[in-house]
Amino acid sequence: MSISRRNLIKSGLVGGAAIGLHPIELAGLTRQRSRLAAGEPASVLPAIAEGPFQPTRASLRTYEIPAWFRDAKFGIWAHWGPQSAVGDGDWYARNMYLEGGAQYEYHLKTYGHPSKFGFKDTIPAWKAEKFDPDHLMGLYKKAGAKYFMTMGVHHDNFDLWNSRHNPWNAVNMGPKKDIVGMWKQAAQRHGLRFAISDHLWISYKWFSSSKGSDAKGAMAGIPYDGADPKNFDYYGRCEEVLDGDLEWNEDGIPETWKRHWYDRIRDLVDQYEPDLLYCDGHLPFEEYGQNLLAHLYNQNAAKNGGKTQAVYTSKRAADSAKGKAICVFDVERGVVSDIWPLPWQTDTCIGDWHYSREMVGHYKTPKTVVDMLVDIVSKNGNLMLNIPLPASGMPDADELAVLEGITGWMTVNGEAIYATRPWRQFGEGPSAEKKSDRGSSFNEAKRQDMTAGDIRFTTKGDTLYAFFMGWPAPGEAVNIRALSGAGIAKVELLGGGQLSFRQDGNGLSVQLPGHKPCEYACALRITGKGLI
């Protein structure tokens, strides 16, 4: 097969400021006009649920982030699906078709050439034979999670529910179970809010690697199984063959795929009515995305006295800017550098997104997770932590140890986390002085474990909480420079009782007991006049 690799050209937008449109709105209008000029019919989407929102950005900007999300602070995600069966990490379904890469080589050695044994052929290995969602939800709740997220559909185009629009789903094959439905029932039994993640919108491009072939060697030029028309119902019909230079945008994605995305995610929303719908990217396909979002919000409002309690996340800051927000800002594997104007969320993982045998023994430590959680909460955010499940559906021993560490810490310090709000500054100390890009994703790799000199603040009512992120050396006090002026009446250590302190022009100095009440960060409960 002859393979051509075309660069997808980004659309140029002209004159948007002249008519007062946001660039995103202008892009949607430009695409609509282009389709009409080309003779393509405008899409006719099904009616959305009745309610306060119309499928326009102007209407969606009246959205208010619900209090439950602001109060929750910590969620757990099971990033789990057919790619977990291979156990070779994230993006396997794409990367196994990229000649010369580590996952390509693993697939070649383990299963054979992708022209003969493709990703579709690995799906039966995902059996979920030890999957016990009620037991797992109990562990997640005990660890302090207030909401839980299941994957709905990853870029691998495999739906984890009883999909009306895709026969490639977990009820028909693999575990032959309604994974999303089982997770929701468990979350409801344990009183956790229920979230679902959508990664489907970019699959048209992402899975195009399955259309390629080797460029060299004995199998050079022999198409991979995704190029076989009889497999198009799973791998799609994308004619683009993209290598590692995947362009994470909507350019070149046809209307047929946009409508197909809409139908499947609308089905997911209608069947499972999530409290939170996560998008692995921005609100996609402007007209389609606005329609879906208005439907989600209205559907939820109908169950909550006309006021939506649903949350949608987008990784595009423009979707969640103050005064223009239509949803919640999500930062992947990163933390913003200061207090964010609106509630936001970090999504990250203790290891690789999909389960990887190579990550066992190399997961984030409980301290790293706690450091991130406290830092994020001090900046008005939530942490969504992925604990990837192996194919069986039961976490490995090292993952359970991380959960146990978080559980012990949250038992002592949850008071200073849940339902808190930021103080006038998020913190002080060496890590607070290292400013990263505002809203920057993928900056967590630059982070180092915080120490006793790093302070983070949260508030609840008239109470100020100050976390010191490590235990000082014996005899050393905790010093907080930001508290030099307020009239402090009492200082208590969560899990440790009332403490002696001194306050002067240099700040607050607190003497600690001989034994720490918990591992990792410890929190001071501070009361007095002029603190908040």
User: DSSP per residue over 74-120, as a string?
Assistant: EEEEE--SGGGGTTB-TTHHHHTTSTTSHHHHHHHHHT--TTTS-GG
512 belongs to a structural domain = yes
The token duo for 169 is 């789903």
Which residue, of 302, 328, 354, is where some domain finishes? 328
92 belongs to a structural domain = yes
378 belongs to a structural domain = no
Spatial separation of the C-alpha atoms in residues 85 and 396, rounded to whole Å: 14
**pLDDT recorded at residue 330:** 97
In sequence order, the β-bridge partners of residue 169 are 159
Are 442 and 320 part of one and the same domain? no
Beta carbons of 389 and 123 less than 8 angstroms apart: no
Please name the residues in contact with 282: beta carbons below 8 A apart, sequence gap of 6 or more. 314, 315, 316, 319
Q: What is the full DSSP assignment across 379-448?
A: TTEEEEEE-PPPTTSS--HHHHHHHHHHHHHHHHHGGGTTT-B--SS-EESGGGGS---TT-SS-GGG--
User: CATH no. for residue 105?
Assistant: 3.20.20.80
Total domain count, the chain: 2
Beta carbons of 119 and 210 less than 8 angstroms apart: yes
93 belongs to a structural domain = yes
Please name the residues in contact with 354: beta carbons below 8 A apart, sequence gap of 6 or more. 79, 80, 81, 83, 84, 89, 90, 91, 92, 388
Beta carbons of 76 and 385 less than 8 angstroms apart: yes
Q: What is the largest CA-CA distance in the chain?
A: 78
The token duo for 58 is 């102007």
**pLDDT recorded at residue 238:** 81
**pLDDT recorded at residue 435:** 62
**pLDDT recorded at residue 11:** 24
Are 432 and 316 part of one and the same domain? no
Length of the chain, please?
532
- CB < 8 Å & 24+ apart, contacts of 357-366: 357/87, 357/88, 358/88, 358/89, 359/89, 360/396, 360/398, 361/398, 363/398, 363/399, 363/402, 364/402, 365/402, 365/405, 366/402, 366/404, 366/405, 366/406, 366/409, 366/519, 366/520
User: CATH no. for residue 448?
Assistant: 2.60.40.1180
Q: Which residue range forms the structural domain that includes residue 248?
A: 57-328
Are 304 and 437 part of one and the same domain? no
pLDDT in tens, the chain (532 residues): 222 222 222 222 222 322 233 343 344 434 444 443 443 444 689 999 999 999 999 999 999 999 999 999 999 999 999 999 999 999 999 999 999 999 999 999 999 999 999 999 999 999 999 999 999 999 999 999 999 999 999 999 999 999 999 999 999 999 999 999 999 999 999 999 999 999 999 999 999 999 999 999 999 999 999 999 999 999 998 877 776 678 889 999 999 999 999 999 999 999 999 999 999 999 999 999 999 999 999 999 999 999 999 999 999 999 999 899 999 999 999 999 999 999 999 999 999 999 999 999 999 999 999 999 999 999 999 999 999 999 999 999 999 999 999 999 999 999 999 999 999 999 999 988 766 555 567 788 888 889 999 999 999 999 999 999 999 999 899 999 999 987 899 999 999 999 999 999 999 999 999 999 999 999 999 999 989 8
The token duo for 23 is 């660039």
**pLDDT recorded at residue 449:** 87
Are 317 and 433 part of one and the same domain? no
Which residue, of 328, 345, 371, is where some domain finishes? 328
Which residue, of 293, 328, 363, is where some domain finishes? 328
**pLDDT recorded at residue 436:** 56
Are 185 and 320 part of one and the same domain? yes
